[in-house]
A and B are shown apart, each in its own frame.
Chain A
Amino acid sequence: MSIRFNKINCSIYILILAASVVFASFYGGLLPFVVLYGVVLFVPVSALFIVLNFHYISVYQELSDNHVVKGETHDFLMSFENTGIFPVHDMMLILHSDRCEFEGIRDGECVSLDPRTKLKLAVKLRCIYGGTYYIGIRSIGFKDAFGVFTIMFNVPYMFRAIVSPKITDAADPYMDIENMVNSVGSKSDIKYEEIPGNDMRTYYAGDPINRINWKVSARLGEPVVRIPDKQDTRKITLIIEPSYVPERVQDTEFLKRRDSFLEFAVSAAWYFARRGVPVYIIYPSGKITEKQIDSYESFQEFYKDVSGGASYRSEDEKDRMHALTQERRKPGCGDGTRVIILEDEWPGKDFCIVAD
C-alpha cells in the first residue's frame, strides 16, 4: 500500500483546515464547529471509505491462451466485483505497462462499480519480454472526494504468465563463426546419418534403392538393404547459466536482460535443431537438467522448460551450475565442443563462450 498526495489539493486542504480552526477559535456555535469537524473528519472518513472499498472489491484476471509467446496478441479478461454496500468510484487501474502492451485499456484508466455489481473488461494483451513474470493489473488506486490523496493497493492476486521467448537468428552469427555445423554433432539414439552401415536386413517396400546391397542380395536370393549407421561425429554441448537474483525477478531491467538471454539460448538451440544436428544442453530448470535435443519434440520440451523459468530452486543449485560451467570452460574436459551462455555477462563479449 502506498499513499500519494496531490500537492496543490493538499495545500488547499491545509489552508481550509487552518481557516476552519481560526474560525472555530474565534466563534463558538454550530457553524464553525460543524465546518471544523467536517474538514478534520474528511481525511479519516475518506481513508475509511477507501479501505472499505478495497476490502470489498475483488479483481480477477484471466488469459485466454495457455501458451503465451512474446510479441503475440492474446485476449485478456479483467473482472471486478464489488461485494460491498458502498459504490466504488473511479478506481484507478495501474497496469504492468512496462512489460505488456494493452489494447482497449490504458494505464491509469478508471472504472466505477455500483454496490454488488460486476464488471468485465476484455482487452488485448501483448507481452514484450520472454520469461516468467506478472502481467495485467499491478495495483488499484482510490482517490478521496477532492483528490487530496490517492491510496494505491497492490492487487492481491497478480497474474503470472510464462512467456516463451521468440526463436530468432540472434545466435546465428556466433554459431556460424565457429562453423560448427560441419564439424560437430553428437551421436544420437534416434537420429541416423546417411552413412551405409554394416548391419543388414530384408528389404521393405519404401527402402531407398541405393541402400540395397546387391552382392549380398544376389547371394541370398532376396533383396537385402544395409541399415544406416548412427551418427558419430564430434559432440557439442550447450551450457546455459542464468543469473540468480530472486529479489529482482520482477524488475523491468532484469526482465529485459532475461528476455535477451533466453532468446539467445533458444535461438542457439534452434540453430542446431533446424539443421538436424543433435546437441546436448545443460540448463537449470529448478535443478540442473541435461538433455539431448535431436528431435522436434525434445526441442519443444527444452523450449518449454526454458520459458518456464530457467531458474534455480536454491542457491546451492546455482553454485553447482556455476561450478559445472567453470569446469566445462577448461580445455580438454572431454565433452566435445562446449557453447557456454552466461546471463551474468550479458551483454558483454563473454556472455557466449565456445570452448573446444
Chain B
Amino acid sequence: MSGRARIFVLLPIEAERILLIFAAASACAVMYQLIYRDIPDHFVNRCTWSCAGFAFVYTLLKYVFRAFADERLSAVAVSMPAILSALLLRNSDIEGFSAGMMGLLVYLFWLFFNIRADSRYPQIMICIMADAVMTYKYFNSLSSDPYDFTGRMVYASLFILTAYHLRLLAGSKGMRKYPFVYFLVLLFFLMLFPARKEPIDWEPVLDAGRKAANKTKEMVWSVSYYIEDLFGTSYYTGYNSLAQNGDTVRSSDRTEIALATRDNTTFKYTDEQTGRMYKRRRTVYLRGGEIPGHDELLDTVFSMYAHGVDPATASLFARNAELNVTYEYLKTEDVIVPAGLLSLRDKNGSMIRENDGRRHKKGYSYHAAYMDLDFGSPYLEGIAADEARSLTKDEVSYKKLASYAYETFGIRLNEIVNEDEFSSWQEGNDLTEYTGTEGASDRMRDLARKITKDCLSDYEKCKAIEAYLRQYEYSTATGRSNEGDTGSAEGMSAVADDFLFETGRGYCVHYASAMVMLLRLNGIPARFMSGYRYVFPFEQQKVYEVKAASAHAWPEAYVKGFGWIGFEPTSGMSTAVDRTWHRKPAAVKAAYEAPLYSEKANVSVPVHVDAERDTDTGKEHPADIAGIVKMAAMIILSVVLMAVLLIFGTFLFKAVRYRMADPNHRLLSDVSDITVIIRSTVGQPFEDRGIMSDYDEYIPDKYRDEIKRAFDISNRIRFRCIRCIENAEKVTAEEEVFVRELRNKMINEYSFTFGLLFS
C-alpha cells in the first residue's frame, strides 16, 4: 500500500478515536457539571475541546514515536508530554490542568482498549454512556442547552458514533466495519444545518393545508349554494336554523355575511384592580328580520333627553359606528342590521326604509350607520334602571329632540325620522305582541316570581333573570324532549320549560326563549331576536367574515322609561358588563392617550447578571488566551524535548551497546549498518534474507568486492563463531577494522548518519 493510500486508511481510524474521545470528554464534563451545578458552560466546552486537542496531539506523537518504538512504548512516550504539560499548568487559572489530565486519562483508556484487543464493546459502551449523559442533560436543562458550535459538534459526533456502533452491533460477526469516513461525511453535512431552539413550526404547512381546504370548501359551498334552487331545496345556514325548534345543532364554518368598517374594532380599558391597560375586541350584534322602525331610536334618544344626559356623559357609553354588510352564503328575505340602527343605505347611497320582500342572495350589500351603546357602562345602566322620568313623549317637540340628538350624539335625526314618524311614535308603542305567555307552565311562573322577588325595577329584573340563566350549562347537544318553535309564545314556552326543568342545558335559542318567557311572566315585554353575534379580531382587516357558527339568538326586553335593551343570558357568551368600555369621566382622555400595556411589555427590563459569571458571555479574556498560548507552548516544548530525548537516547543506547559488545557482534553491527545503507540507496523494498545474493544486484560496483568480503566475514561469524562451532575462525582485528572502515566510508559517501538511528 502506498503512503498516500495508507494515510487515507489511517485518517478515518484516527478520526473515529478522536471523535469518541471528544464525545466522551464532553459527557464527562457534563456529568461533572450536573453534579456540581456551579460549573460554568465554558468549562465544559474547554474541557471537551482540550481533550480532543490533546487526543489529536497524542495521535500525531504516536506516529512520531512509533518510528522509534512499538505501539506500547510509544503510548508510554506519548503520556510524558501530557503529564509534563499538566504538571506545568497545575497552578494555572484556566482549566488546562483538569482538561489535560482528563484528556490523558481518556486517551490512555482508549489506548489500553485499543492495544488490548480488537473488541468493539468498550467503544460501544463509551458511546452509550455518553449518549445517556447528553440525553439526560438535554431533558434536564433545555433552556441552558448550548447552541454554539461545541454543542452542535458534541451532539452530531454522538449521533454518528451511535449510528456507527449500531451498525456494528447490527452486523453479523466477522462482517467488515462500514467505513467510518461515510459517517464523517454525514457529520460534515450535519454541521451545515443549524439546530433550532423551537420545535418544528408546522404552521406554514397547516396554513397551506387550511387554504387548500378552504378553497375546496368554498367551491363546494358555491356549487351547493347556486344549484340548490334547481332541486327546490331550502338553503341551510346558521342564521336560518335559529328559527328552528331548538333541537341539536351542528356547527358550521361557512361565511354567511361579510362586514367592512373603517372604525377601530378594538378598544382599550384600564383594569380597576391591577391598574393595567388592556386591549379588548368590540362585539357587534346583528339582528335579522324586518328593518326596524325608528321608534326604538326615538325611545333611546328621548330617554337620554329625559334624563338630561349631556354630550360629555353620552360619550362615556355611546358612539356612532358604521358597517358595510355583504351577503355571502346566505339566502334570506331578512335584512341583517346592527343593533341600534340609525340608517340603512344601498350601494347607490339611497336610504332603505323597509324590506323589499325579495330574497337576498350572495353579493347583496348595504351600508348601515348605528349607535353603539355600552350597556355595561354604569352610567347607562343607571339611566336604564331609572324608570322615573320627569318628561313625557308629548312634552318634547320634533325639532327639540332632533336638535338634542345632533348636539349630544351627532345624529341628524331630521334626516332619519320625519315628522309623521315622530308623531306616530308620540302616540305610543303597541307592545301587546311581546307580552304573550301562552304555554307557560306553573313551575315556570313560580320560577319567574322567585327570581325577581327582590327586584325593584324592570331593569333589575332583567339583570336578575339574565344572571340566573347564565348558570345553566351551555351545550349544542340538547337531546330535548319537547317540540317547540321559537316563532310563537307556545313554542318558546315549550323550549324554555324543557331547558329550565328537564335538560338543564342548551344553546342560545334555549337561553333566549327562557329569558323571553320569564320576562313576559314578570310583565316585561320581551322578544326573541336572532341574527349574529360577532367579535371583531384584534387585527384590523379589510373584510371580516361572519361564519355560520356566529349565528346567535338573544332576548330583548322593553324597559320602561328607556326602550328595547338586549341581554345575554347564554352562559358561553360575555355579558354587556363583561364587554364594557370602562369609560370614566376623568379617565377618558388619559385612557385613550396612554400607551398600551403590550407596548409596555416591550420595554427592555434590566436583567440581573452575576458579576462573577462575566466570562460566560463567550468572549475570551486576555488572560485566558495567554494561558492557552502558554499551554500550547509547553506542550510543543515537551514534544520537542521528548523527541530530542528519544533521538539522543537511541543514539546513546546504540553507542553504548556497540562499545560493550564483543568483536564478533561489533562486526555484525557494522555489516548490518552497511545493509541498511544499501537498502536506502535502492529506494524500493526487496527480499532481504541477510545473504549476499539478495543484495547482489543493488551493491554499487566500486564497493562490490569489499562488501562481498564483509558479507563473507559476517556469514562466517554468524554461522560458525556465534554458534560456537569448533575450530571456527574468529574475527581478526584486521577484519574488524576493514569492515568498520568500509561502513564509515559508505556513511560519509551517502550522508547516512541520521538514518542509522532509525534502523
Contact = CB atoms under 8 A, between A and B. Distances in A.
Interface stretch (B30-38, B176-184, B687-695): B176-184
Contact of A42 (B5, B147, B186): B186
B196 interface: yes
Contact of B186 (A38, A89, A90): A38
29 contacts: A24-B200, A25-B200, A27-B199, A28-B196, A28-B197, A29-B145, A29-B147, A29-B196, A29-B197, A30-B151, A30-B152, A30-B155, A31-B135, A33-B193, A33-B196, A34-B155, A37-B195, A38-B186, A45-B182, A48-B185, A85-B8, A89-B176, A89-B178, A90-B176, A112-B176, A114-B9, A115-B8, A116-B8, A145-B178
Given A25-B200, A33-B195, A45-B186, 15 more contacts: A28-B142, A28-B197, A29-B142, A30-B145, A30-B152, A34-B156, A37-B193, A37-B195, A45-B182, A48-B185, A49-B182, A89-B179, A116-B1, A117-B5, A146-B170
Nearest to A85: B8
A86 B197 contact: no
Contacts of B145: 29-30
Interface string A1-38: 00000000000000000000100111111111111011
Nearest to B182: A49
B287 to A, nearest CB: 45
Given A34-B195, A46-B182, A115 B9 contact: yes
A91 to B, nearest CB: 11
A152 to B, nearest CB: 19
B9 A26 contact: no
A29 B195 contact: yes
A144 to B, nearest CB: 9
A114 B202 contact: no
Contacts of B176: 89-90, 112
A51 interface: no
B138 interface: yes
Nearest to A48: B185
B199 A24 contact: yes
B198 interface: yes
Interface stretch (B159-167, B449-457, B495-503): B159-167
B209 to A, nearest CB: 15
Contacts of B142: 27-29
Interface residues of B, number: 41
A21 B200 contact: yes
A87 interface: yes
Contacts, number: 103
Given A28-B199, A30-B147, A87-B179, A35 B8 contact: no
Contacts of A31: 134-135, 138, 155
- Chain A interface bracket (under 10, 10 to 19, 20 to 34, 35 or more): 20 to 34
Contacts of A181: none
Contact of A35 (B159, B170, B181, B199): B159
Interface of B: 1-2, 4-5, 8-9, 12, 134-135, 138, 142, 145-147, 151-152, 155-156, 159-160, 163, 167, 170, 176, 178-179, 181-183, 185-186, 189-190, 193, 195-200, 202
Enumerate the 5 nearest inter-chain pairs by beta-carbon distance, A residue then B residue, closest first: A115-B8, A116-B5, A33-B195, A34-B155, A28-B198
A38 to B, nearest CB: 5
B167 A145 contact: yes
A41 B186 contact: yes
Interface in A297-334: none
Contacts of A86: 179, 181-182
Contacts of A46: 182
A54 to B, nearest CB: 14
B8 A45 contact: no
Contact of B199 (A26, A34, A49): A26
A29 B163 CA distance: 20
A146 to B, nearest CB: 6
Contact of A25 (B134, B179, B202): B202
B405 to A, nearest CB: 59
Given A29-B142, A34-B156, A145 B200 contact: no
Contacts of A37: 189-190, 193, 195
Contacts of A29: 138, 142, 145, 147, 195-197
Contacts of B195: 29-30, 33-34, 37
